[in-house]
Amino acid sequence: MAKIGFIGTGIMGLPMAQNLQKAGHQLFLSSHHDKAPAALVEAGAVALANPKEVAQEAEFIIVMVPDTPQVEDVLFRQDGIAEGVGPNKVVIDMSSISPTATKAFAEKIKATGAQYLDAPVSGGEVGAKAATLSIMVGGCPNTFERALPLFQAMGKNITRVGGNGDGQTAKVANQIIVALNIQAVAEALLFAARNGADPSKVREALMGGFASSRILEVHGERMVKGTFDPGFRISLHQKDLNLALAGARELGLNLPNTANAQQVFSTCAALGGSNWDHSGLIKGLEHMANFSIRKD
């Protein structure tokens, strides 16, 4: 059994923390932002006042918050993780944030004597609940091996990509692929419906061919049914694509399709859809076409 600090128990973080509990690990939670979830406390988690206290008690400290500024705050605030870590401690950031900032955060944490892994995840709320997340890890091999039993309690496809920052780079690449696949499915279903075909039947037909994908299976069904409760919010996918486009500018790259998907997400946000599931991208296309694939 490991002593694990877990900071960030939202849509993804809560089921991830619960799976660590089910695997027999002791959790320590911080109440600096929100009260510790009752479900975790009732199952044996210990609620402490701030991230520093969590880091002092735990061997591994997992962070799962929305964006780069929140990770920086939790790590380096006055009562933050950096004040409570030292030799033999491992900080694991499972948020999806800037690869460049991650490298800087890792160096500052390692200066305390602790180790640092960036380990963003893919698989959404469904994968978090089922403990089938894909986990992309950046950090030294020995630290990765120490943390592997924790990752195995939360996910299935676990890959050490390289050094610090490489896990976040892999996650940004993942989000590019997911966004473009969502847009491809949305455009195909919109084309089919506007041409008079039943989009649910078109989706069913495509599921048996080379166009089949997990996006078509899961998000295609959401598009047809109009069920856009997150899931993974459009605002978070916009954040990830901003990381991709900012990184591309730094590297002198042009990512035209990524930029286009971001524009459609921005249309959704302008329609009040920032909190829609990212499969709701189709509503941005429908708005521009003045046509809905759903009869209602």
- Torsion on CA atoms 188, 189, 194, 196, rounded to nearest 10: 110
Q: What DSSP designation does 83 have?
A: G
Strands 121-122 and 133-138: antiparallel
**Long-range pairs of 24-30 with CB within 8 A, sequence gap ≥ 24:** 25/1, 25/150, 25/153, 26/1, 26/2, 28/3, 28/4, 28/53, 28/54, 28/57, 28/58, 29/5, 29/54, 30/5, 30/54, 30/74
What is the residue type of 58?
Answer: A
> Which of 3, 35, 110, 171 is labelled catalytic?
171
Tokens, residue 123: 């698989």
How far is residue 112 from each of residues 91, 115, 162, 190, 267, measured CA to CA in Å? 11, 9, 22, 54, 44
How far is residue 105 from each of residues 11, 69, 97, 139, measured CA to CA in Å? 24, 11, 11, 12
Residue 31 to residue 6: CA distance in whole angstroms:
11
Residue 95 to residue 143: CA distance in whole angstroms:
18
Residue 191 exposed, middle or buried by CB count within 10 Å (0-12, 13-18, 19+): middle
Q: 91 in the Ramachandran plot: left (φ > 0), alpha (ψ -120 to 50) or beta?
A: beta
Is 52 assigned a catalytic role? no
Residue 33 to residue 50: CA distance in whole angstroms:
8
115 forms bridges with which residues in the sheet? 90
Which residues are marked as active site? 171
